[in-house]
Structure 1
């Protein structure tokens, strides 16, 4: 269904697929495949990061005959074996990004899980105990991975996908006390240096559907529970449209 002038991406995160989810997502993915040219999965694909959950998810994705790109979320790390989740998805044809870039229908996509740490003046700094420095360093490393992925893109149109939010605007609605655990503005810095058409993320189930970076890039919170609650008249995925790549000059 690729049109001449637009490429359509269906974006959703926080599927939290369990061992008992068989049969509950297949129609949802089929609807996404009908509405879009590619599917973007923004982390927390499984509930506990178990191989059995990843296998169920792969079965459910079987009805989506379009390219699928994913990043992992914190839930996918819960059982300390995210590589197994990644391998199961990759073997099924899903492109799982962790600081890499991929091109889909001529649109460049950079993906990373991201991390926590807070926003703006409230961001945690690398000072004091070693544990604090390690925590902040994790956020810095995720931001560097995102920057590296964005720097690799050579396409006219680009999308960044994460699990954690790079801005505070799309976590508004969550309890203020947990804002620092929903993302960090360290992830916004690469997006200012390497602008994209749109950013998609999940994680903040009670956040706000959209916001903008400091340089005006639209950011969409595509956590499935949020989309279900906000857009009750349609399936809970967000359609992101970008202009189709220009034909090369002859």
Structure 2
């Protein structure tokens, strides 16, 4: 598999994988996506065969975070072993479980060494038609109940964490030159796909501030995890399909063993396009657009 890593700590250009299988001649890309499989130290071999089948069933594999139980080096070593036979590109974002032990850089280092591309560091272009952007995302709630940056410093810091993730996603989407853009998150960007979870924990399952760049840049599809007992699919206000690919949801709602396969058709006139803003036009930041209301 081509190494799609980017240098840690350095802003890099979108990684381009190049044309694959003559674009499959069917003018489509098959995406396998799953999150929340929570590998523990004793889970070696549990998913290896299923992941290997992605070589035949998909063109690219997306991992939507919570790859481990507590984010320890021993657990991420198991994850890398489960991915050993995957030859197609693998893209990932981390989840909250992968941060639990306070060693996310060790998790990232192990994934990079395996050749997994971390979307939090740079977008990825599979070919001239389809590109991928992603961040972990964060919490805060949805709609009129979204937490605002009002009051204590701790509240402001919490909200600013979400706004930072929104801005990172915006920047990643802006850097893609492909006409078709796919978004990968851990936290949910819409309330529809957390429905089924206890309503009391909705604010901890995602934040719809992530919607603004998704809809403005016209994403083709969004994948996320985290909401194990949520709803498998929903749509953004602009009609972008969103899939909750937590392993529990994939198994219960699609009958698949591990991952959901989504196929994107490539338009006949598809090709790279320049996405930079027009000269002289200033683009407001995500924080400026979101504003800071009061609760």
- Report the TM-score range of the alignment, normalised by the length of the smaller protein: over 0.9
Per-residue CA distance 1:173-210 (angstroms, 9 max, x = gap) = 00000000000011111112211110000000001111
2:222 to 199, 209, 213: 199
Q: Is the 8 A contact 2:73 2:106 kept in 1?
A: yes
2:187 to 160, 164, 189: 164
1:69 to 91, 94, 99: 91
1:6 maps to 28
1:20 equivalent to 2:42? Answer yes
1:54 maps to 76
State the shift of 1:64 in Å. 1.2
State the shift of 1:99 in Å. 5.3
2:284 maps to none
The size of the alignment, in residue pairs, is 248
Larger-Rg structure: 2
* TM, length-normalised to structure 2: 0.81
Q: Residue 202 and residue 117 in structure 1: after superposition, are their counterparts in 2 closer, same or farther (change >3 A)? A: same
1:95 maps to 117
* TM, length-normalised to structure 1: 0.95
1:33 to 39, 51, 55: 55
Give the distance between the partners of 1:102 and 1:177, measured in 2 at CA.
Answer: 36
SS at match of 2:36: coil
Give the distance between the partners of 2:271 and 2:157, measured in 1 at CA.
Answer: 46
State the shift of 1:105 in Å. 3.4
Give the distance between the partners of 1:131 and 1:37, measured in 2 at CA.
Answer: 43
SS at match of 1:20: coil
1:237 equivalent to 2:255? Answer no
1:225 equivalent to 2:225? Answer no
The answer for unaligned runs of 5 or more in structure 1 is: none
Q: Is the 8 A contact 1:36 1:239 kept in 2?
A: yes
2:143 to 120, 125, 136: 120
1:144 to 155, 164, 167: 167
Q: Which runs of 4+ in 1 moved over 6 A?
A: none
Q: Is the 8 A contact 2:178 2:271 kept in 1?
A: no
The answer for unaligned runs of 5 or more in structure 2 is: 1-20, 273-295
Q: Is the 8 A contact 2:179 2:270 kept in 1?
A: no
State the shift of 1:167 in Å. 0.3
1:84 maps to 106
